[in-house]
Structure 1
């Protein structure tokens, strides 16, 4: 049996909390004890406390920060609160798991790292890039390692409305808005405005709605695939070769070099967009001369869907071979929370650190600098 259970306080009780994290924490009661939930809506917090049998429901973050019975703060709020809440938790000596993205700007990301460096009790930050904890990702990386030279890669995140999947998830999330103070909405808008200004290096009145949408989509949906790209292809690209925008559909070409051999260049194409078709087309594909490997993710809102690796290659007989591998049915969120426990209790090295997540923010900055001017017309 584990030597101890970590006591958790959750901030933010929206869909991802009610459909994913709170149920998963409840299934891992040998590792975690969820003792408090906090949300800007008292009704939403109370609903979650009732459904998931959590003793404390509050709208006051300070209640969680001051509690000696909380070891870990899980930040599931909207993006503009990730940095201030993570910093506050670190100052209180609490470990932090913050859902991706870490934040939207390099400046606020560095604030989190500075707070972590000075945190009492050795408090650390774990960033929730759950796709990077899928068992099949290890298989994908193993198969990539057998490709002597990468010729091309593709990263795609094209999905339909999350509500379609959530409605069939078996969960019935409830969110209340009639008790949210107007001051809270104003504060949220102000924080988002400041982050967008920092990210773009422009005044808010200089930012078009298209630019605001682009930055927010990169952080929300984009951070999944772009973080995977960094891990699987060996870090940041050398450059952004080209960028195109069509409505809310975005395509970017990255210049990469092989991390082995003679460092030959190759292109990675990144595609993302959201429409009204209920699909989840999320994958990373890597192509070599005689072998290509693809990892495919399905919606995380339906628990237990397979994450598969598909391989196409030529065998020694000159025949085309196709096969798929699924390394298990344990969902990536469960594996992620098990890893968080191992990092805190068993002192295992953190993989998805705040410093690692800062690389995404550097990549966002590279992409923002290549945002096509013609899209503003």
Structure 2
């Protein structure tokens, strides 16, 4: 019988309420929530009241990390997670961190070293790499000949479209001082990553590239095993009030090309995301589900020289499977190397923003500048 892991959950916003907390309830043979923390006191109480047993609450994440009944922490706050992840590891707790883990390469390396030295699991929420059809995808890549092109495309509508009928609870009682403290930390790390670029570029890096485009980057790395050399980048902003659309291109040593496109389409009818690979003998096409809908899985089609194979998806969502993976990492000691993957993703995303800035006559410094 599997050992139950006592959890603390930090951050109780949309993704916690829509995916992680319901999935933890389904996996009550593997996990029990003993403590929660959010900067909204009323949200803390509302969520704790829905959970079984006595649940400790606090607006200070440090109180959850130091709680004696907590063995591992799910870090589900918005923004980057370096500061809280580091504090949690130093408190001796295993960590599941939503992405992005860090804004700097150095930060990812430091967290990897810290987790390794303390013998703790550090997993990043790259849920798309836990889709059940991933084995069939990798097998399909072996059947389509010499690879010529990888293409990953995101059609991202406004959050109101993404969320659809899903209801979440929130209260207007947050401590803005805590938000300001976190923002100051992220700004410091942004300067270390990119130098002193104008503020809009820092927001682009943090709020679009590291927060959402990261899924394209991390998925490609996870499937192929490495990231391509960035060859070009483009960005266009139809309105000053909207996030920009982004197109990045790259090339692998075998000359196969990569296109990653992130489109902001505020009134698009539904969230849509696809990954394709095209080779000399066929293609693979993977369709991802809307991440804000529960119990949905990716579907795959493999068109090879002599067959068309369709895989409608598995029985468990990627969100459930990544929690199971976290449990195995803790109980078996087979810890993931996600922080090293985050290091590669972070460097690539820094280079992307630096390339975009250069097209506007701005030269990045910091970690990105030292690599150019």
Structure 1 position 208, deviation (Å): 4.1
- Partner residue of 2:39? 40
Q: SS where residue 30 of structure 1 aligns?
A: coil
The correspondence for 2:232, drawn from 235, 238, 242, is 242
Counterparts in 2 of 1:107-122, with a 5 A limit? Answer: 107-119=106-118, 122=119
CA distance in 1, matches of 2:61, 2:12: 13
1:365 aligned residue (328, 339, 350):
350
2:25 match: 26
Tell me the CA shift for residue 25 of structure 1. 0.5
Q: Does 1:280 align with 2:271?
A: yes
In the alignment, structure 2 segments of 5+ residues that lack a partner are 238-243, 363-372
Q: TM-score, normalised by structure 1?
A: 0.88
Distance 2:212 2:134 in 1: 18
Stretch moving more, 9-18 or 366-375: 366-375
1:184 aligned to 2:178?
A: yes
Counterpart selection for 1:175 from 145, 148, 170: 170
Superposition RMSD on alpha carbons, in Å?
1.9
User: Against the structure 1 CA distance between its residues 376 and 189, is the aligned structure 2 distance closer, same or farther, given a 3 Å change threshold?
Assistant: farther
**1:318 aligns to what?**
none
Aligned positions of 1:259-270 closer than 5 A: 264-270=254-260
Question: The residue matched to 2:8 in structure 1 has which SS?
Answer: strand
* Pair 1:254-2:253 in alignment: no
Higher relative contact order (CA 8 A, sep 6+): 2
How far is 1:301 from its partner?
1.5
SS of 1:176's partner is: coil
Cα distance in 2 between the residues matched to 1:245 and 1:288 = 28
The worse-fitting range, judged by mean Cα deviation, of 89-98 and 99-108 is 99-108
Q: CA deviation at 1:312?
A: 2.3
Matched position secondary structure for 1:283: strand
Deviation at residue 211 of structure 1 after TM alignment:
5.0
Alpha-carbon distance between aligned partners in 2 of 1:336 and 1:323, rounded to the nearest angstrom: 26
Q: Secondary structure at the match of 1:212?
A: helix
Deviations 1:298-332 (A, max 9, x none): 112211223111122332xxxxx544212413100
Single out whichever of 61-70 and 208-217 deviates more from structure 2.
208-217
Contact 1:79 1:103 in 2 (8 A): no
Question: Between Structure 1 and Structure 2, how many residues are aligned?
Answer: 354
- Report the equivalent of 1:163: 160
Shift of 1:183: 1.6
Question: Matches of residues 10-159 of structure 1 in structure 2 within 5 Å?
Answer: 10-53=9-52, 55-80=55-80, 82-119=81-118, 122-159=119-156
Pick closer, same or farther for the CA change 1:376–1:17 going to 2, 3 Å. farther
Determine if contact 2:300/2:311 at 8 Å carries over to the other structure. Answer: yes
Label 1:182 to 1:25 Cα distance change in 2 as closer, same or farther (>3 A): same
TM-score, normalisation: structure 2: 0.90
How far apart in 1 are the matches of 2:360 and 2:354? 13
Q: Distance in 2 between matches of 1:90 and 1:251?
A: 36
Task: Report the Cα distance in structure 2 between the residues aligned to 1:64 and 1:75, rounded to whole angstroms.
Answer: 11
Whether the 8 Å CA contact 2:143–2:281 is kept in 1: the answer is no
Distance (whole Å) between structure 2 residues aligned to residue 76 and residue 328 of structure 1? 25
User: Are the counterparts in 2 of residues 129 and 224 from structure 1 also a CA contact under 8 Å?
Assistant: yes
Q: Residues 129-176 of structure 1: CA distance to partner in whole angstroms, max 9, x if unpaired?
A: 11101101111111102233101111112221233232423xx21122
Structure 2: distance between partners of 1:306 and 1:373: 39
Partners of 2:199 and 2:83 in 1: CA distance = 26
Residue 328 (1) aligns with residue 323 (2): no
Task: Give the distance between the partners of 1:358 and 1:231, measured in 2 at CA.
Answer: 13
**2:341 is the counterpart of 1:356:** yes
